[in-house]
Structure 1
Amino acid sequence: MSDAASDSVLSALADARAWPFEEARRLIKRIEKRKGFDGTVLFETGYGPSGLPHIGTFGEVARTTMVRRAFEALTGGQIKTRLLCFSDDMDGMRKIPDNVPDRAALEPYLQMPLTAVPNPFGGDYPSFGHHNNAMLRRFLDTFGFDYEFASATEFYKSGRFDEVLLRAAERYQAIMDVMLPTLGAERQATYSPFLPISPISGRVLYVPMKEVNAKDGTVTFADEDGRDVTLPVTGGNVKLQWKPDFGARWAALGVDFEMFGKDHQTNAPIYDKICQVLGGTPPEHYVYELFLDENGEKISKSKGNGLTIDEWLTYASPESLALFMFQKPRSAKKLYFDVIPRAVDEYLQLLAAYPWQEGKAKLDNGVWHIHGGTPPATELPVTFALLLNLVAASNAEDKSVLWGFIKRHFPGTSPEASPLLDQLAGYAVRYYTDFVKPKKRHRAADEVERAALTALSDALAKAPSGASAEDLQAIIYDVGRAVPRYQDFEAKNATPEKPGVSNAWFNSIYEILLGESKGPRFGSFIALYGVAETRALIASALNGELVAAEEKAS
């Protein structure tokens, strides 16, 4: 970005209205009121490693990072920031996830801390919790997040939480006064914010406390064999129930900002009160909507019904995933494989628009937030949707086939000169093979469609060499406009002499030639695929070859 462009962006900061800037402004107001501010703002994200990390986990880190970068921009980088990714890996394994190998082998370890459960995936990680932590960190590192990782097991056992745990023992009744009104009568009778780790079995015990000794910093309870046991609350001998744990962690670490899903929204006031009881100031919150699977059900780590991080990255770039997270975080969105192509193309469109936008528009553009204010200068000649249709038409099984078409239409391009385009070509082949091809169903043309496609082929044969995508699109419109079935007299600028063209014409093209119900601008497709190749494709469709090949394959 030039110095002038950079100055334009900086001058527009006051007017930026993208949601990370709005959250950053709230955080600035908090800091201005904070007494004893030590010069560092702490952002935190939480992760429950009861199952493999999923995209929602990544989204929390990505979105928090966006707020962090907006805060740094608004404060001119004069205030230090930290991002702590905290794993609740000392939680007991309450149920065995569906998506692990040999579930029966984990049954003896139910209720044990996740970092004490054997790793069902094998390898070098000593426990299930360690494995899942590593899976999260691997991706965060690959993406380049600036963060610190924290393990609840380590913090409890190393003494990092000892001070707040001793304070919880001193203020035990005040914590109970917060919690008990939120519980049913049966739960009230046995509830304790402290969960001791059984010296006998190593399990996390949900048992009432017989005594809480604030002076000695101990709790007494009945262990699994019925005998009373007294343990110090420090040193990893106990952990806190999840609601008090939220507030205690905020108080212990001095967290300034944390976002969480809508399923935590009703509990947020409880977290805040616990934090205050323990002498802390609750952080600023941001509540986001939950992701849904293709059936509209909430994504669950234990069910494994959502996309994993690795699955998205098999078919698209991390930047496209980050854009998906940036867009409308307070609206429920379906998160499954079908959303990937659109996310990729929207990212590319915003990236191409960024250099031409004014200061405020740049700051509201998602790519500013994805790239921390410095998006790369990239403009691609084709869309991801167009590459997918090129794969469909050419039956490409390797991206080198796509490059043959790309180089012919865009001389001078190459995988070496355009690494992003090369990456997209690989994504397109994999996505098409796994998700489009199995669902693709060509159909035969009826008599009207046969005549229209024959007319299209004849018109393309007369197109001048090197015809542009716009010229080819105009030919497609002219052919469709001459067919009564496809005439649209209510279209914008339509006249009785020159009607518009209905979507039915394009739907017929896609269904008959590509085996799909929709696609990109077909003129752009022809320009990339080639006029001769498109005419050959039409001939194959009208000869019944496409339908026959599909029937043979099935």
Structure 2
Amino acid sequence: MTNLRDLALNARAWPFEEARKVLKRYEKKDPEKGYILFETGYGPSGLPHIGTFGEVLRTTMVRRAFEMMSDIPTKLIAFSDDMDGLRKVPTNVPNQDMLTAALNKRLTKVPDPFGTHPSFGEHNNARLCAFLDSFGFEYEFASSTDYYFSGKFDDALIRVLECYDNIQKIMLPSLRDERRETYSPFLPVDPDTHEVYQVPVLHTDPKNGTIVYRHPDGREVETPVTGGRCKLQWKPDWGMRWYALGVDFEMSGKDLIDSVKLSSRICETLGAPKPETLTYELFLDDQGQKISKSKGNGLSMEEWLTYAPGESLSLFMFHKPKTAKKLYFDVIPKAVDEYLVFLDKFPDEELERQIENPVWHIHNGKPPASEVPGISFALLLNLASVCNTEDKAVLWGFISRYVPEASPENDPMLDHLVGFALRYYQDFVKPTKSFKAPDATDLAAMKDLRDVLAGLPEHTSAEDVQTEVYEVGKRHGYENLRDWFKALYQILLGQEQGPRIGSFFALYGLADTIALIDRALAGEDLSAA
């Protein structure tokens, strides 16, 4: 019998590679805290976005890979930096004036512009948790506000105060000249206004656990660094958190490479080993710009899930985390179909191949049985296109004829895909359809194709139909057969590309395909249903 642990220890998929780094930390003895701690961070100054989800998903994949290799318990904390001051107003939220009036207050004291929670920070935290819960993630939510005010960070904050000068030596060379003059790891939090001050620290007293800072009004104020009266600048905060919690693994984006280096040095200065880290490439919008919470550019999680199942989003996140990827609506159909292909392959693969298959990681080793009977998302999109419909029953009429045993009741996954395809077609395909008028070569080839299809049995296989379409293209002198298929897509579907045309003709039905070709040959407007 194959040992799954041995396979995991040698598997090449990136979650296993990262998990082996964590395992190596405890070759000699188990962690004193009794578990391996994976952490993800969230800055709730803007609404949760798809990159936040990707970080939790990818970290979970590493966590599950580790659990295949070791019996040491694991824990994942989703940590929200909600003690941060609101430094700028996100452009994608309502009540901008209200937020502008609350600038510099800690996020858990900034009013909620949506009016559903006591604060903007709590609103965004709730949005994050609701989304993560909907995917069934196993995690513990942690609030920076809670950790600072409850005293959970008090010992670590005193330790930062003890190491104040050494931390300054780490941080100051990374800052601009003007910033160095006033920089301190500690940011006093005004107990009355709840503002998070970026002000000079004039004196530190580790024995009494206090600092003296210059208030914006010019006064010198002494305050404890514990109990929520101060928070740390985010790079020292990150290093302090790793030290205080004993974080073993955290990933972050390419834009934080220098921050990871500084925070790692701070963590080690405080007296703890830095965590294992993974730097992932950033998601880009359709213009090649970095996706931003405050700008709201790129795809949101809700938008992706309007047009495709969550598993396709998980697959998109799984692929090549160290490679930059554009994240916009055009990538959705490909992600859906790739997921279906991987799911279909899984049952017939050997175990060592299964644990390399993305669906193993997406479904924690237990992917569901594939319910889709050889029908791709691209095929459904083209079926919706030629039918020009918003009615699922219309598409199911063709599907049931193509696969008689299929039904919405027996194949709920396929039924969901039908709904997604209709929405995607209406919003993204239909508005861009542009039909080409056939030229003389196209007309001759299409007449030939029509006659060939008319001579085939109605239930000819998709592969045989594809072969016949190829042969017609060859007979009519298309130098590149891709030009022949492109012409069919443009003339019959009003699109530049599509799925295998033989599969589409088989799904649509040869009789209906012949009727569609006849309409095109007659010069009818195919943009109408």
Q: TM-score range by the shorter chain?
A: over 0.9
> Which residue does 2:415 correspond to in 1?
422
Look up the SS of the partner of 1:229 in the other structure: strand
CA contact (8 A) 1:442 1:515 kept: yes
Between the aligned partners of 2:268 and 2:289, the Cα distance in structure 1 is 35
> Which residue does 1:530 correspond to in 2?
509
> Which residue does 1:492 correspond to in 2?
none
Letter in 2 for 1:529: Y
More deviation in 246-255 or 177-186? 177-186
CA contact (8 A) 2:388 2:528 kept: no
> Which residue does 2:193 correspond to in 1?
201
CA contact (8 A) 2:23 2:66 kept: yes
Q: Name the Cα RMSD after superposition.
A: 1.6
Matched, 1:47 2:26: no
> Which residue does 1:505 correspond to in 2?
484
In the alignment, which of 463, 472, 479 is matched to residue 456 of structure 2?
Answer: 463
CA contact (8 A) 2:151 2:226 kept: yes
Between the aligned partners of 1:42 and 1:142, the Cα distance in structure 2 is 22
Letter in 1 for 2:36: V
CA contact (8 A) 1:178 1:270 kept: yes
In the alignment, which of 471, 475, 482 is matched to residue 482 of structure 1?
Answer: 475
> Which residue does 1:432 correspond to in 2?
425
> Which residue does 1:311 correspond to in 2?
303
Q: Equivalences for 1:11-410 in 2 at 5 Å?
A: 12-33=7-28, 37-75=32-70, 78-123=71-116, 125-381=117-373, 382-410=375-403
Between the aligned partners of 1:258 and 1:465, the Cα distance in structure 2 is 57
CA contact (8 A) 1:406 1:413 kept: yes
TM-superposed CA distance for 1:223, in Å, is 2.0
- Give the TM-score normalised by the residue count of structure 1: 0.93
Between the aligned partners of 2:268 and 2:358, the Cα distance in structure 1 is 36
Letter in 1 for 2:48: P
Between the aligned partners of 1:8 and 1:352, the Cα distance in structure 2 is 24
> Which residue does 1:472 correspond to in 2?
465
TM-superposed CA distance for 1:33, in Å, is 4.6
Between the aligned partners of 2:127 and 2:473, the Cα distance in structure 1 is 52
Between the aligned partners of 1:280 and 1:13, the Cα distance in structure 2 is 28
Look up the SS of the partner of 1:546 in the other structure: coil
TM-superposed CA distance for 1:105, in Å, is 2.3
TM-superposed CA distance for 1:344, in Å, is 0.6
CA contact (8 A) 1:42 1:81 kept: yes
Between the aligned partners of 1:264 and 1:168, the Cα distance in structure 2 is 22
Residue 447 to residue 36, structure 1, CA distance change in 2 (3 Å): closer
TM-superposed CA distance for 1:198, in Å, is 2.3
Look up the SS of the partner of 1:146 in the other structure: coil
Between the aligned partners of 2:266 and 2:40, the Cα distance in structure 1 is 18
Between the aligned partners of 1:391 and 1:516, the Cα distance in structure 2 is 13
Between the aligned partners of 1:13 and 1:147, the Cα distance in structure 2 is 23
Look up the SS of the partner of 1:149 in the other structure: strand
Residue 547 to residue 411, structure 1, CA distance change in 2 (3 Å): closer
Look up the SS of the partner of 2:211 in the other structure: strand
Residue 200 to residue 146, structure 1, CA distance change in 2 (3 Å): closer
Residue 192 to residue 38, structure 1, CA distance change in 2 (3 Å): closer
Between the aligned partners of 1:226 and 1:314, the Cα distance in structure 2 is 53
Between the aligned partners of 1:245 and 1:546, the Cα distance in structure 2 is 63
Between the aligned partners of 1:359 and 1:548, the Cα distance in structure 2 is 48
In the alignment, which of 481, 500, 506 is matched to residue 521 of structure 1?
Answer: 500
CA contact (8 A) 1:293 1:336 kept: yes
TM-superposed CA distance for 1:379, in Å, is 4.4
Look up the SS of the partner of 1:545 in the other structure: coil
TM-superposed CA distance for 1:263, in Å, is 0.8
* Number of corresponding residues: 528
Between the aligned partners of 2:448 and 2:269, the Cα distance in structure 1 is 78
Letter in 2 for 1:472: V
CA offsets per residue over residues 390-448 of structure 1, 9 Å max, x none?
00011120222111111111111111111111111111001111111111111211121
Look up the SS of the partner of 2:26 in the other structure: helix
TM-superposed CA distance for 1:359, in Å, is 2.1
Between the aligned partners of 1:194 and 1:398, the Cα distance in structure 2 is 59
Look up the SS of the partner of 1:518 in the other structure: coil
CA contact (8 A) 1:15 1:360 kept: no
TM-superposed CA distance for 1:487, in Å, is 4.1
Residue 400 to residue 36, structure 1, CA distance change in 2 (3 Å): closer
Look up the SS of the partner of 1:277 in the other structure: helix
Between the aligned partners of 1:341 and 1:176, the Cα distance in structure 2 is 50
Between the aligned partners of 2:68 and 2:29, the Cα distance in structure 1 is 20
Percent identity over the alignment is: 57
Residue 303 to residue 33, structure 1, CA distance change in 2 (3 Å): farther
Between the aligned partners of 2:420 and 2:484, the Cα distance in structure 1 is 29
More deviation in 171-180 or 53-62? 171-180
CA offsets per residue over residues 222-273 of structure 1, 9 Å max, x none?
2232222221111111100010001000001010100111111122221111
Look up the SS of the partner of 2:302 in the other structure: helix
> Which residue does 1:499 correspond to in 2?
none
Residue 29 to residue 317, structure 1, CA distance change in 2 (3 Å): same
Look up the SS of the partner of 1:364 in the other structure: coil
Residue 9 to residue 541, structure 1, CA distance change in 2 (3 Å): farther
Letter in 1 for 2:395: L
